[in-house]
Amino acid sequence: MQNQLFDVQAYRAQVEAAAAYIRTRTRLQPQIGIILGTGLGELAREVEPDVVIPYEEIPHFPLSTVESHHGRLLVGHLSGVPVYALQGRFHLYEGYTPQQVTFPVRVLATLGIDTLLISNAAGGMNPLFRRGDLMLITDHINLQGQNPLLGPNVADWGPRFPDMSEPYDPELRRLAEAKALELGIKLQQGVYVAVLGPNLETKAEYRFLRLIGADAVGMSTVPEVIVARHMNLRVMAISVITDECFPDALEPLSLASVIEAANEAQPRLTRLMKAVVETVGQQITASSS
């Protein structure tokens, strides 16, 4: 699926077919979607499932090729709140197009969510950050060289030129701050820069990324956020800082080390996300009553 050949009507039909299939598997209609990236495997175990749907069963859904990512859609309750939880995401470095990477977000929006919560693993470049910290994303920089909105626009999904002055919802960010304070969880804040990957950065690249205003670097999230905002979803995203990317003290990094750091942060990230979901669920109930 190359952008110059991109058939947006066929793509839209695929999104609607995937959503229609999911509707046949559950009567739940959650308004919250969660992308369970690195660091939120524990949260997946706390979802009380109505149904668990492997990605390969959903029409047109991509399949994750990263060993640390499962490929399942969980539909159920978290802290009593209905949610869709995507256990495993997709990346441009796997060879997918931006439209394929963001296909699940299009599907969840078509199913009726209005809030999207995201987690990811990122390298920390801010000298105040430490391995295992959580960082609430306040803004992002897209250095992936691609954009999921390329090609014809579907006006029913969103405007041709969506505003990105506040991609990460201020109200949700304030909620995350308040819940972290209540729970005694240290929550850093900063700018996330998305690069293509899959190689990690050189010392010179880390210096450059820090110079342009980034606090953490990763290879995901930004395409999903762009599409979520295009479809008028509220977004909150948290990075697990899995390594310290300080050029003058840079050490070789392995996937095992990244997963180890993410696992260490899981209990804190899980408690924080559950608290946010519970409060958002209460707000949804209050607004509909």
- Count of Cβ atoms closer than 10 Å to residue 224 Cβ: 28
As a whole number, mean pLDDT of residues 184-198 equals 97
As a whole number, mean pLDDT of residues 151-178 equals 97
d(CA 13, CA 261): 40
As a whole number, mean pLDDT of residues 157-180 equals 98
Share of the chain above pLDDT 90, in %: 84
All structural domains of the chain with their residue ranges: 3-288
Convert the pLDDT of each residue in 238-285 to its tens digit: 999 999 999 988 888 887 888 888 889 999 999 999 999 999 999 998
Beta bridge partners of 95: none
The pLDDT, as a whole number, for residue 64 is: 72
Asked, as a colleague might, if the bond just before 198 is cis with ω within 30 of 0, I would say yes
pLDDT band at 38 (very low <50, low <70, confident <90, very high): confident
Its pTM surpasses 0.85: yes
Residue 160 to residues 2, 43, 127, 220, 266, Cα–Cα distance (Å) = 19, 35, 38, 23, 38
Helix, strand, or coil here: 234? strand
pLDDT band at 289 (very low <50, low <70, confident <90, very high): confident
Is the pLDDT confidence value at 140 over 60? yes
d(CA 19, CA 24): 9
Residues with Cβ within 8 Å of 110's Cβ and at least 6 positions away in sequence, in order, are 15, 16, 19
The pLDDT, as a whole number, for residue 135 is: 98
Convert the pLDDT of each residue in 47-103 to its tens digit: 999 999 999 999 999 987 665 557 999 999 999 999 999 999 999 999 999 999 999
d(CA 61, CA 72): 10
The pLDDT, as a whole number, for residue 2 is: 46
**Could you confirm whether domain 3-288 is CATH 3.30.160.340?**
no
As a whole number, mean pLDDT of residues 2-30 equals 91
Is the pLDDT confidence value at 106 over 50? yes
d(CA 243, CA 130): 7
